Each structure stands twice: as structure tokens, then as C-alpha cells.
Amino acid sequence: MMSNKNQLNVKTSEDMTATELNIEADVVIIGSGAGGGISAYELAKAGKKVIILEAGPYVPSEKFTEMMAVSMATMYEGEGAQSNTDGDITVLQGRCVGGSTVVNAALCFRTPDYYLKKWGKEFGLTNLTPEVMLPYFEKVEKNLGITEVKPHETSSGAETIKKGLKALDIPLGLARRNIRDCAMTGFCFAGCKTDRKQSMMVTYLPWACNHGAEIYADTRVTKISAENGTAKGVNAEVIDPKTGVTKTRLSVKAPIVVLAAGPTGSPLLLQQSGLANSSGQVGKNFACHPSLSVTAIYEKKLNDFHGATHSLFDDRHTLPENGGWIQLNAVQDPVEASFMAEPGTGKPYVRYMQNYPNSTRLITLIHDKNVGEVTMENGYKEIRYQVDDEDFEAMKKGLKENARILFASGAKYLYLPTYDTQRINSVDEIDSVIDALENESARYRYTSFHPQGTCRMGTDKSKTVVNPYGETHDIKNLYVVDASLLPTSIGYNPSETVYALASYIADQINEANPG
């Protein structure tokens, strides 16, 4: 299928000597994550000279530390501390060569037909039918080795939770992941040292490089330029990550610009460049799948450290009319586990962490309304987003189910992810404790792994930013291929949707620009 030479052609700030560098190419791609990686390969394979500019560093797999705090500081946006303006939702995104695909948990779902049909009806995306998208899902599944988790790959926590699902007669959803022969280290979020996770860094990016693509890491695009309504290229700065000093001012002149800076990066670049915003929608319609992780403590040690980060789910309620939440088990290392609940300080905290080997976690993730906005205020990124009241009610229903599953699996007691200590000590307490929760700001420890929606796709030029083929309505040959395209939140982990959409849009670009 692909060449065996899985070599990245990457330059970092260390390689830069000139203070100014001007490059010409057929395509410049901004960002090297899910959307950037897929489009880079598809466009380079079609014979185009592709330049990929990535703001984050190049961290080869052998340098992954398997220490969450270190990985967050080097490979995550905002050193892992990016949040909404209220500071109660951590919005996690990767920031390195390969983007979020390097640090994600690799759980993959096809876009449900429900949303493809909804987008057809409400956003005019009648081109993205389940039939049209099927070959794209099949293609990325084959290329990224997306297969169901094997029986030996599940973690001990998942096996325990399985008992709860069985006792409650809940059908078991088995995860599909872009992982070949999982080494079960449990360190997905810190990067897969063994290269078994099929991130962009070890798949599509080296494949693109085998077709001549070049990657510049440490390189932040500051402006996209256009003339007479047509894209012309970009300006960027190569910044030494150790000192923060700009080493090189880089410009790429290219007739095709592909924006893949992710759902916070892409709208900011369009806003800064003053482009593609005649609708006023750039940066709006931000959704992020807020999730809350309930910690369960058991009598016996589970040692839930190794195995698939996610191996099972319950998605009976995932569509909005069925409730709008999904449950996912999750292996979490001690650093993550320590901030997932409020056990207090001093002795209570020490007791909580001493119980870490006896604990596991079940995440409730909700489909949310696209109510947020990303802007730059006084030089700082602002993500204005609060959980909507109705969405909070969906979260409460999900949390109740979550708690029932955990007790049915043998949990002694549960910690809710609140900033004031909230324990549930028995099944009988579930309803009263959760019914009493109110949708208050800064009370819950939300994590978002899935920002989406800030440059949404559709036919109506006054309500959307990008047309059904991925090109911005306003600027010819300026395409968006990342998670900002999603017109609505999809309630399922979105990476496969981004892979498939990027693959589809790359085909559109190749068709519109043959030769």
C-alpha cells in the first residue's frame, strides 16, 4: 500500500539559519493534526508540492516521557491548561507535529447517519450522504488500522465496569481504535512510545513526505493572504520553543491554502487575517462535548493502569432525542486521576490517592448545543462557552446512569467531579445527590477533548463559513479541513469524522485543481 520509508521530512527552529525565508508551493497546509495530515498526503500523492506549517514542536515518539505533566507541557495547547473563560472546562488539544492525534485516545466512530442526514436537511449538505461518506470511512479505517478492541486489550477497570453493564442488561459497546497491536501501556494521552497508535505523525504525514511534502515545526502562521477574493499564501514565524524568540520570518506563496489549525486556531487565523467572515460566523457555534468523569472506589485493588484507554461504551442515549449523552470507560494515570475529583486536602487527599489502585472511572460525555465563541481579546485567546441549561439536564441524567453502572459493578462509593467534595455512598443516594446539582459556573470539573464547529459548513452563506466542498464561501481556494467544519456537535468522539471529511475535501481540491 504505502512506501516502507516512514520518514518525516521535518525542519524545526534548530534547523533554521536565515532570518527570512520565502517558499513557493502548490499547497500550503496550516496545522498537521487530523485534518492537516490527511489532506497533506492526499494532495501530495496527487503530485502537488505541499508545505505543512505546524505551530507546535516535533517530538519524535522515542522522546515521549509517558509522564502526563511533561507531555502536557510539551505537546498540548496552552501546556494542557487551555480553558473556557470561566475556567471550569479544560479544553484539551494537541499542539505538536501530528496535532491532537498524537495525544488522543484513538477511539473511533463513524459519523452517525443521523447527523449526516440532519446536516443535509438543515445545512444543505446533501452531498455528504451516508452513501457518499461510506468509502471515506472505509478508506481511513483501512489506512489507520481502525479495528475493534481485542479481548486481551481491555483494562481491568473496563472488565469491572462490564459486570455493571451486564447486571443492568445494558448492551456492551466495544471500542474501535486506530491502534495496531496495542502495547497496553495506558499512556495514550502522553503519546504512544511504541508507535502502535496510528497518529498522523506515524502514518499520513510520513506518507505525505514520501510524496515530497515538507513540514516546518515550531512555525506559527500569523496571516493568510488573499487577492481579489482568491487565496495567495501565508506568513508565519518560526519560533525557538526554548526562548520564545522568532528565528525566521517565513512566507509561503501558494495558490491553494488549506486551513487545518483546529477549532480554536482556524477561526482565530481567519479573524486575524480579516478573511472569510462575511457571515460573521467565524469563531461562533463552538461546541466541545463537555465531559464529567465519575471516580468509583472498590474494596479490592483493580490496578486499572494498563490496556486500552477506552475499551467500552454505552451509546443508547447518545442522540439528542434519546437523552444526548454517552458513557465511556477511561484509564487515567495518577496525575489525571488526582484532578478528576475533589477529595479535599491533607489526609483526605492522601487517602483518596492511596485508593487510586482501587479506583476506576466512567466518563459521561454530552452532545452539546453550539453556544460558544472563540475570539482574540487583547492578544489572548478567549473561549466563551458555558454549559447550556438543557445540556446540563442531559448531563445529570447521564451521571445517574453512570453512577448506577458503577455501583452495579461493585463500587463501594463514588466521587463526583465537583469543586466541593461530593460523594455518593450508595445506590439509594444517587437520585437525591444528582437531582440537587445545579448548572452553576465553576462548580464542576469538566474536560473537553472535542472542540468543534467554529467555521461551520453549509450552503447558506449568511449562516456558515465554508461551502459543502470545504472551500470558504468568500475566498476561492481557501479550504478548511479540520474539526471546525462540523455544523453541529455530534455527541461521539469526532476524529474519524475529521479524517473522513478531510479525505473527502482533499478529493474536491484535487478535482478542482488537476495537474
Ligand X SMILES: Cc1cc2nc3c(=O)[nH]c(=O)nc-3n(C[C@H](O)[C@H](O)[C@H](O)COP(=O)(O)OP(=O)(O)OC[C@H]3O[C@@H](n4cnc5c(N)ncnc54)[C@H](O)[C@@H]3O)c2cc1C
Nearest distance, CB of residue 168 and ligand X, angstroms? 24
**Interface with ligand X, residue 185, by CB under 6 A:** no
Out of 119, 123, 415, 449, name the contact with ligand X by CB under 6 A. Answer: 449
Q: With left for phi above 0 and alpha for psi between -120 and 50, is residue 27 left, alpha or beta?
A: beta
Q: Tell me the C-alpha distance between 458 and 486, whole Å.
A: 9
Q: Which is nearer to ligand X, 257 or 297 (CB)?
A: 257
**How many alpha carbons lie under 13 Å from residue 302 in its C-beta half-sphere?**
29
Question: Pattern 483-502, binding to ligand X, x per CB under 6 A?
Answer: x---------xxx--x----
Q: Tell me the C-alpha distance between 327 and 224, whole Å.
A: 40
3-class SS of residue 326: strand
Q: Tell me the C-alpha distance between 63 and 61, whole Å.
A: 5
Q: What is the DSSP string of 170-232?
A: PPPEEPEEEBSS----S-GGG--TTS-B--GGGTHHHHHHHTT-EEESSEEEEEEEEETTEEE
Segment contacting ligand X by CB under 6 A, of 13-21, 99-107, 284-292, 364-372: 99-107
In the bound state, the residue with its beta carbon closest to ligand X is 33
CA proximity to 8, closest of 65, 43, 69, 58: 58
Nearest distance, CB of residue 481 and ligand X, angstroms? 7
**Interface with ligand X, residue 55, by CB under 6 A:** yes
**Interface with ligand X, residue 39, by CB under 6 A:** no
Segment contacting ligand X by CB under 6 A, of 24-32, 113-121, 131-139, 243-251: 24-32
Q: Which is nearer to ligand X, 99 or 206 (CB)?
A: 99
**Interface with ligand X, residue 35, by CB under 6 A:** yes
**Interface with ligand X, residue 100, by CB under 6 A:** yes
Please report how the helices 113-123 and 130-143 are oriented relative to each other, as an axis angle in degrees rounded to 10.
Answer: 130
Bridge partners of 197?
179
**Interface with ligand X, residue 453, by CB under 6 A:** no
Nearest distance, CB of residue 499 and ligand X, angstroms? 8
Segment contacting ligand X by CB under 6 A, of 98-106, 132-140, 316-324, 419-427: 98-106
- Restricted to residues 58-97, the positions that interact with ligand X (CB under 6 A) are 92-96
Bridge partners of 220?
237
Q: Which is nearer to ligand X, 102 or 406 (CB)?
A: 102
CA proximity to 155, closest of 374, 316, 311, 321: 311
Segment contacting ligand X by CB under 6 A, of 124-132, 259-267, 357-365, 434-442: 259-267
Residues contacting 80, CB < 8 A, separation 6+: 71, 72, 73, 90, 92
Q: Tell me the C-alpha distance between 29 and 166, whole Å.
A: 47
Segment contacting ligand X by CB under 6 A, of 32-40, 57-65, 359-367, 376-384: 32-40
Bridge partners of 360?
296
Out of 74, 90, 101, 327, name the contact with ligand X by CB under 6 A. Answer: 101
Out of 72, 221, 331, 416, name the contact with ligand X by CB under 6 A. Answer: 221
**Interface with ligand X, residue 189, by CB under 6 A:** yes
Nearest distance, CB of residue 502 and ligand X, angstroms? 7
Decide: 68 and 196 in contact? Cβ < 8 Å.
no
Nearest distance, CB of residue 182 and ligand X, angstroms? 13
C-alpha radius of gyration, the chain, whole number = 22
Q: Which is nearer to ligand X, 298 or 385 (CB)?
A: 385
Segment contacting ligand X by CB under 6 A, of 28-36, 279-287, 403-411, 414-422: 28-36
Q: Which is nearer to ligand X, 185 or 355 (CB)?
A: 185
H helix or E strand, kind and range, residue 390: helix 389-408
CA proximity to 77, closest of 321, 437, 381: 381
Residues of this chain that bind ligand X (CB under 6 A) = 30-36, 53-56, 92-96, 99-101, 103-108, 189, 220-221, 260-263, 265, 269, 449-450, 482-483, 493-495, 498
